[in-house]
């Protein structure tokens, strides 16, 4: 376990903002910059701008709007965290969208809040995720996974394809089903994050799906299959 990060007025939480509305970005910046231990280091109004500018600013926390004109904040979360594994992403949305929440979990987001949140609660959420804690309730995550698996419309039609997976790919698929990020899977299986990403690309292709969420649903079928191989470091 890594030690929780600490922040002070001398070493404030560096925050990056992504929202397509300038008024919202300014409001968030004013709110957060008023706190002595928080500093807004930059902002963006589009996915393209966020991916180009975010990594150079080295933020500790990225507050990301989920829905954007040229894409979504969940993609930004996944891409930024692939470049900055220590980055904590706080997803901000106007909608209480369970599918978006599940996508955010799969992308490695640390939190998910509605735009109707009180200012003081948002400040608290930024501080929480900055120190390495999660704003995602494990019970909520588990409930979402169960509801997806129980939904008949989500029943996979390619379950036989599971047989084509290697033991390592089955291990990784099971951990995707548990909601782990690439980095967490790597730690669990003693693999580099890049190796995990390559394994996931191959297993998604074998399963005939494009998204981690679809793979997570398929992972429930591993429960009726032989247990995955033991986790051995390589």
Contact 231, 189 (CB under 8 A): yes
Q: Are residues 132 and 182 in the same domain?
A: no
Q: Are residues 94 and 197 in the same domain?
A: no
Q: Which residues contact 152 (CB under 8 A, 6 or more apart)?
A: none
Q: Are residues 128 and 50 in the same domain?
A: yes
Evaluate whether residue 121 is within a structural domain: yes
Vertex 118, ends 115 and 119: CA angle to 5°? Answer: 95
Evaluate whether residue 101 is within a structural domain: yes
Q: Are residues 93 and 159 in the same domain?
A: no
Mean pLDDT value across residues 177-204? 87
Evaluate whether residue 144 is within a structural domain: no
Q: Are residues 158 and 126 in the same domain?
A: no
Better-predicted residue by pLDDT, 98 or 147: 98
Evaluate whether residue 7 is within a structural domain: no
Contact 7, 130 (CB under 8 A): yes
Measured between alpha carbons, how far is 53 from 59 in angstroms, rounded to an integer? Answer: 11
Give the distance from CA 116 to its chain's centroid: 21
In this prediction, residue 76 carries a pLDDT of 93
Evaluate whether residue 72 is within a structural domain: yes
Beta bridge partners of 39: 14
Evaluate whether residue 18 is within a structural domain: yes
Q: Are residues 70 and 44 in the same domain?
A: yes
Task: Express each pLDDT in 79-122 by its tens digit.
Answer: 998 889 889 999 988 776 667 777 777 778 888 888 888 899 89
Task: Express each pLDDT in 211-225 by its tens digit.
Answer: 776 677 677 666 544
Q: Are residues 156 and 131 in the same domain?
A: no
Contact 145, 177 (CB under 8 A): yes
Q: Are residues 95 and 171 in the same domain?
A: no
User: Looking at the 3D structure of the chain, how many domains does it have?
Assistant: 2
Evaluate whether residue 34 is within a structural domain: yes
Q: Are residues 122 and 179 in the same domain?
A: no
Among 190, 213, 212, 192, residue whose Cα is nearest residue 201: 212
SS3 track for 109-120: CCEEEECCCCHH
Evaluate whether residue 48 is within a structural domain: yes
Measured between alpha carbons, how far is 57 from 53 in angstroms, rounded to an integer? Answer: 7
Least trusted range by pLDDT, from 74-88, 144-158, 179-193, 216-230: 144-158
CATH number for the domain harbouring residue 132: 3.40.50.2300
The first and second tokens of residue 95, run together, are 């909608």
CATH number for the domain harbouring residue 186: 1.10.10.10
Burial zone of 22 (CB within 10 Å; 0-12 exposed, 13-18 middle, 19+ buried):
exposed
Q: Of the segments 8-12, 86-90, 173-177, which one has the largest average pLDDT value?
A: 86-90
Q: Are residues 131 and 156 in the same domain?
A: no
Q: Are residues 29 and 123 in the same domain?
A: yes
Q: Are residues 81 and 123 in the same domain?
A: yes
Give the domain extent around 220. Answer: 152-224
Alpha helices in the chain (DSSP H): 22-33, 47-57, 73-83, 98-106, 119-130, 138-150, 167-177, 182-189, 193-207, 212-219
């Amino acid at each position: 376990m890594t030690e929780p990060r600490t922040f002070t007025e001398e070493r404030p939480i560096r925050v990056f903002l992504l929202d397509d509305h300038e008024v919202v970005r300014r409001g968030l910046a004013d709110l957060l910059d008023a706190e002595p231990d928080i500093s807004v280091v930059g902002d963006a109004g589009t996915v393209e701008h966020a991916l180009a500018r975010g990594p150079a600013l080295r933020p500790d926390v990225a507050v990301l709007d989920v829905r954007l004109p040229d894409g979504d904040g969940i993609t930004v979360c996944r891409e930024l965290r692939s470049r900055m594994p220590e980055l904590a992403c706080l997803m901000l949305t106007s909608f209480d969208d369970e599918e978006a929440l599940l996508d955010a979990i799969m992308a490695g987001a640390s939190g998910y809040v509605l735009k109707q949140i009180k200012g003081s609660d948002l400040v608290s959420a930024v501080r929480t995720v900055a120190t390495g804690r999660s704003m995602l309730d494990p019970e909520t995550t588990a409930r979402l996974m169960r509801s997806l698996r129980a939904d008949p419309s989500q029943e996979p039609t390619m379950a036989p394809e599971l047989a084509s997976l290697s033991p390592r790919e089955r291990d990784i698929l099971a951990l995707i089903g548990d909601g782990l990020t690439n980095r967490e899977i790597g730690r669990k299986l003693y693999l580099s994050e890049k190796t995990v990403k390559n394994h996931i690309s191959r297993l998604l292709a074998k399963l005939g799906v494009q998204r981690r969420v679809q793979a997570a649903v398929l992972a429930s079928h591993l429960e009726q299959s032989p247990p995955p191989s033991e986790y051995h470091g390589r």
